[in-house]
Structures are given as C-alpha cells and as structure tokens.
Amino acid sequence: MPLATVGRIKLTNEKLDGELRQALAVLALGHATDKKTVTLNFTGQGKRPVQVGYVQQAPIWKTSYRLVLGDKDAPFLQGWAIVENTTEDDWKDVRLTLVSGRPISFVMNLYQPLYVQRPVVEPELFASLRPQTYGQDMGRANLEFANKSMAGANLAQANLAAKAAAEPLAPAPAPASASARSRFLREATDYSAATLQQGVQSAAQAANVGELFQYAIDAPVTIARQQSAMLPIVNGSVQGEKVSIYNQAVQAKHPLNGLKLVNSTGLHLMQGPITVFDDGAYAGDARIEDLQPGTERLISYAMDLDTEVAPEGANKPEQLVSLKLVKGTAISSRKYERSQQYTVKNSGKKTKKVLIEYPLEANWKLVAPDKPTEKTRDLYRFAVMAEPGKPAKLRVSEEQVAEQHIAITGLDDGTIQYYLSAKVVSDGVKKALAEVVKRKTDIQTLATSAQQLEAQIATIGQEQARIRENMQRLDKNTDLYNRYVKKFTEQEDQIEKFRGEIRELQTKITAQQKSLDEYLLGLDVT
C-alpha cells in the first residue's frame, strides 16, 4: 500500500503505539523553531507559587545621545536607549532592565542525541601482543590545564551574563526615522539645555552587575509587537572643553571642531551616536565608544573652517655618534633627526585651543617639546593656543639612534677615511683602523706583484704561440729555426722563474691575510 495514501497509523499494541507517538512528538518539537515543550518537576509537598525565567534571543539595545554646547553653561548630555520588540507578542507593563557589557553567549543543539564514534579494531593475529598505554607529555598537560582554567573563567562570565539576561526583557525604544529626525530639526527652534531638561527626565536607575552595567527602567514599559521605543536613561550636565582637533591624515588643511568630554554623569555611557547642538543650532554628529564613569574622550562633530593649519616637514643629514671595533666587526651608531612644523591661523573671533595629533613611532624619541599634552597608543597630542589674527607655531622634533654592523674587511677606502677624519671616533679606533689599512695595503701590494707576474707569463705565452706557428713552416736545419728553439727555451726558463716567484708571493699573502684575520678577531676597541 502506498504510504502517501495513508491518513492515519495506529499500532495494535497500545504500549508500542504510545512510545511511537511520544517519539514522534519529541522529533517534531526538535524541529520547531518557535516553541519548545519543557516539563518541570518540583520536589516537596504543598502548594506554592513558582516563577519561571528563560533567556530569549533579542536585538541588542542601542543608545543615542544629544549634546548641547554653549559659551556660558556646562555641556548638557541627554541619552536614549533604543529597544525593539521583534516578538509576536505585545509587551504590556513589562519590567525592563538594560544590561551593557560583552557577555559570552552561544547556541548548542541539545535535542539531537550525540554518539561517540568508536574506532573499528581488527583482531590481532598474535595472542601474545596486548594493548599498550602511554603517559602524557607534561608540557602538553600544562598547556591543557591552562586552557581549562581559561575555559572556567569564560564559563563563569557566561553564567553571570545568563543571570543578567534572565531578567524580564523590556521593550525597546523606537528609533526616529530619517524623515522624523529631519522634521524634528525643522520644527524645533530652541535646542538649549534648559528646554531639553524640562521636556525629558531620566527614567532609569543605573547599577553595576559584576563586570557588567545595567539600567533598570523605573516605570513599566509597554511596546506593541514589531515596534520600538526610545527610553531616556541619561539627562544632565557633563564636564567638557571645546577644542579643535587637527590630524594631517584626516584633513590636511582644517582641524575638526571637537569637545574634550568627561563622563561626570556617574553612569556607564554605552557607545552610540551623538547629535551636537552649539549655541542653539545643529552643529553636527559625533560618535563615542563605551565610557566608564570619570573617563575622558575626544569627540569631533564638524570641520573648523575658521582655522587653518599648514604642516612643513624637515629632515637633517645623519650624524655619526660613535664607532667601535669588536671581533672583526665595525659597529657604528648613527643619529637621524626629523622635525615637523605646524603653523596655525585662526580667522575666528575667539581664541581657540587646537590639539595637533602627531604619529607615535616606537623607534623615534621625542626631543621637542619635552613632553606631549596627551599621549595615546599611537598618537601624540600637542595643545596650541591660537589667537585671532596671530599665527601660532609648533615644532615637533624627534631623533633616532640606530646601530649598523659591517665587517671591517668590507669597509671601502672612502668609508675608512671618513671614520679616520671623524671627531667622534676615538684615537684607539683610529689607530686600529690605520693598522688595518696598512696591513691591507701590504697584502694588496703582494697581490699586485703576483698579478704583474701573471701578466708577464701571459705575454710570453702569446709570443710562444707565434713562434710555434713560424717553426711549423721552417726547415729544422735552418738558422732561424735554431734561433726560435733557443728563444723558446729561454722563455720556458723565465716562465718557470715567474711561477716560483708567484708561489712565494701567494704564501706571503696567505700568511699576512691570516695575521690580519687574527688581528681583527682580537679587536675590542671603543
């Protein structure tokens, strides 16, 4: 019978039929993505209320800020939490707690049975052989022990995150769309701190949870399904100082308007965008990273067109600092210098504090100024006060001392003469170099003599080739033939003499080269 035509199956054995239907229900629930069946068993006796909590996947809540700047009042910061209800259920009077941090979370399939795959072992042909066991390498054991320790720490943090996440999930504030935001900017006429503070009050209480940070929303939250909401969590004055921030890699001509923001709210400020209003008008957008209470960050929100910065670089020739000879090696220390001058022109009406960012490189030492105003992982920051109509200048100078190792035998005559005339080179080093030059000159003189003898032998060989060619055309009884034979014999004697002299020169060259090598290896002069 085709199974496609079967509408219902029931086993006649009631016990087997019950087990089959239970197994099918478990498999069906394992494939379901929106619903799971959980059976809870409670020990003890008596009727009592039971509260069940669970963790559900939800979008990460986000933050958005408004920052109001003014010449008289302190900066005013307003923060909103954006929470989204992406479920199919309405949230009504939900107790909401927002947790900020980086909890460890993952998904694991607990419905599918897992079986350990066992290897297939072929039977042994020899009964005398028995399975062997071997001890573990101690270095590997220590590494695994350290890994288990790290895994334990991660598990503890994951448990903490799960505990915080077990709090009832709250509705998410609805982010303003682009059109709503533009409408807000058109219709609003007063962006002062007092107006914003009167219109919105913070609805959250902040508290630390281990290494996490949470905002507990005081009033119950109601958000319909597939909707979002904006909940105020920060509403108060902060510490800050207006600055202009210049980085040549960001903008070569103009700095950026910025603020040195101090998180004096006592709250953990989660990363997010900041809309900045300056003197009652929209000034630009900025972005901050996570800010712990009491920490300080720079933010920039617009280009400062009233201020112009002109950088000009300069490099000086390298300078020899010292030279020492150690075991056949010349170790020279050379100093390199570079500088960058910045000219700041302020065309505005007020004096500005300009922070100039300069790259920090580990191999270069800062010479001037003595120390930077601020120092980050990869940047120096120097503060320059730029008055209107008066150019302000800043010169940043750096130096680097690098060592160079060269075999003394590899130094050419020009380099050696440079070292001999340098004032920073000690008399001991100059004396040793002069001795090296003398010994190398003696070896070169012997080598030149040997080369001259080789050249003479080559000339004689060419002459003998001519004589052989002429002798082949002459009768052996002629006088000319006998003269050629006599001359050929004299040349052979001369070649043998030259070869002997070359062997003596090579012996002297070898001896003097060995003596030079021993002298170089014994050098230790600074």
What is residue 211's predicted lDDT score, i.e. its pLDDT?
Answer: 60
- 33: confidence class by pLDDT, cuts 50, 70, 90: low
- 60: confidence class by pLDDT, cuts 50, 70, 90: confident
> In one letter, which amino acid is 524?
D
Q: What average pLDDT score do residues 80-97 get?
A: 89
Q: What average pLDDT score do residues 37-52 get?
A: 86
pLDDT at 150 over 80: no
Alpha-carbon distance values, 369 to 306, 317, 365 (Å):
26, 21, 11
Token pair belonging to 315 = 């490099």
Do residues 290 and 240 lie in contact, with contact meaning Cβ atoms separated by under 8 Å? no
Q: What average pLDDT score do residues 191-203 get?
A: 55
- 23: confidence class by pLDDT, cuts 50, 70, 90: confident
Pairing of β 365-368 and β 392-407:
antiparallel
Dihedral of the alpha carbons of 516, 520, 522, 525, in degrees to the nearest 10? 140
Domain boundaries of the chain, sorted by first residue: 62-103+169-239+271-297, 307-416, 427-525
**Least confident residue range of 73-77, 138-142, 329-333, 474-478:** 138-142
pLDDT at 108 over 90: no
The 3-state secondary structure of 389-415 reads CCCEEEEEEEEEEEEEEEEHHHCCHHH
1: Cα separation from own chain's centroid: 68
What is residue 224's predicted lDDT score, i.e. its pLDDT?
Answer: 92
pLDDT at 393 over 90: yes
Q: What average pLDDT score do residues 140-155 get?
A: 47
Beta-bridged to residue 345, according to DSSP, are 308
Q: 488-497 contacts: CB < 8 A, separation 24 or more? A: 488/464, 491/460, 491/463, 491/464, 494/460, 495/457, 495/460, 495/461
Single pTM value for the model:
0.64
Measured distance CA(68)–CA(22) in Å, rounded: 63
What is residue 525's predicted lDDT score, i.e. its pLDDT?
Answer: 85
* Mean pLDDT, the chain, whole residue set: 81
DSSP string across 338-359: EEEEEEEEE-SSS-EEEEEEEE
The 3-state secondary structure of 60-117 reads CCEEEEEEEECCCCCCEEEEEEEEEECCCCCEEEECCEEEECCCCCCCCCCCCCCCCC
Percent of the chain past pLDDT 70, that is, above it, reads: 82
Q: What average pLDDT score do residues 226-251 get?
A: 90
The sign of the dihedral angle between the CA atoms of 456, 461, 462, 466 is positive
Measured distance CA(237)–CA(392) in Å, rounded: 33
b/e per residue, 250-274, with b = 16+ CB within 10 A?
eeeebbbbbbbbbbbbebbbbebeb
Do residues 96 and 83 lie in contact, with contact meaning Cβ atoms separated by under 8 Å? yes
In 247-280, the DSSP E strands lie at: 256-262, 272-278
Q: What average pLDDT score do residues 141-167 get?
A: 44
Alpha-carbon distance values, 360 to 169, 345, 366, 439, 504 (Å):
45, 25, 9, 47, 62
Do residues 208 and 158 lie in contact, with contact meaning Cβ atoms separated by under 8 Å? no
**Least confident residue range of 194-208, 413-427, 487-501:** 194-208
Measured distance CA(217)–CA(232) in Å, rounded: 9
Q: What average pLDDT score do residues 139-147 get?
A: 47
Instruction: Establish how many alpha carbons lie within 13 A of residue 281's alpha carbon, considering only the half-sphere containing its beta carbon.
Output: 3
Q: Which residues contact 460 (CB under 8 A, 6 or more apart)?
A: 491, 494, 495
Percent of the chain past pLDDT 90, that is, above it, reads: 27
Cis amide prior to 391 (ω within 30 degrees): no
Instruction: Establish how many alpha carbons lie within 13 A of residue 67's alpha carbon, considering only the half-sphere containing its beta carbon.
Output: 29
Do residues 235 and 201 lie in contact, with contact meaning Cβ atoms separated by under 8 Å? yes
Measured distance CA(285)–CA(277) in Å, rounded: 9
- 192: confidence class by pLDDT, cuts 50, 70, 90: low
b/e per residue, 32-62, with b = 16+ CB within 10 A?
eeeeeeeeeeeeeeeeeeeeeeeeeeeeebb
Which H or E run includes 323? strand 307-326
Dihedral of the alpha carbons of 340, 341, 346, 351, in degrees to the nearest 10? 90
What is residue 139's predicted lDDT score, i.e. its pLDDT?
Answer: 39
Q: What average pLDDT score do residues 236-265 get?
A: 91
Q: What are phi and psi of 13, to 5 degrees?
A: -80, 110
- 207: confidence class by pLDDT, cuts 50, 70, 90: low
- 177: confidence class by pLDDT, cuts 50, 70, 90: very low
What is residue 384's predicted lDDT score, i.e. its pLDDT?
Answer: 94
Token pair belonging to 404 = 């160079």
The 3-state secondary structure of 150-166 reads HHHHHHHHHHHHHHHHC
- 160: confidence class by pLDDT, cuts 50, 70, 90: very low
What is residue 2's predicted lDDT score, i.e. its pLDDT?
Answer: 84
Measured distance CA(120)–CA(346) in Å, rounded: 82
Task: Output 30 or 220, whichever has higher pLDDT.
Answer: 220
Dihedral of the alpha carbons of 313, 317, 322, 325, in degrees to the nearest 10? 120
Measured distance CA(187)–CA(179) in Å, rounded: 12
Angle made by CA atoms 335, 341, 347, in degrees to the nearest 5: 170
